[in-house]
Structure 1
């Protein structure tokens, strides 16, 4: 009867194709929506530094937990801060 099994049940190695448990993480809350007094301002580079990687890249929404509106504001503020030399474009790699 094993010859009548569907391909979705097992793989050639005999292991289940869709194996393992999926772990779901708690949805992150936007910091700017939670605290109405906090704004993404290009002059406040200490806050903007939290939204950049160690290489200087802007971290995506799925990692930071920002909503779409505030992620756009953060990205614009980071780009302005880079132009005014408050934040580096990249890190110095030796």
Structure 2
């Protein structure tokens, strides 16, 4: 039986590259909440479509915001 060739999934555009954001501020809670799940977990690079460099900066900003009690570690 022949298998159909699968198309590779289309890559999402990086939010930070598209909007020309150079610095991800940990105090910008509204922006950070877009990249956190409803359970409080940081969404993966594949889900958000960010570049690896921006994903690292994003995760550091989210962790700083959690440390400063701006974002919860988890939400129940």
TM-score (norm 1): 0.71
The alignment's C-alpha RMSD in Å is 1.8
Runs (5+) with no aligned partner, structure 1: 1-15
**Which protein is bigger by CA-based radius of gyration?**
1
Runs (5+) with no aligned partner, structure 2: none
Paired residues in the alignment total: 76
1:43 equivalent in structure 2: 27
C-alpha deviations, 1:5-43, integer Å up to 9, x for none?
xxxxxxxxxxx4x75663543210111111114632100
TM-score (norm 2): 0.86
Query: C-alpha separation between the residues in 1 aligned to 2:18 and 2:58?
Result: 15
Q: Which has the higher contact order (CA 8 A, sep 6+)?
A: 2
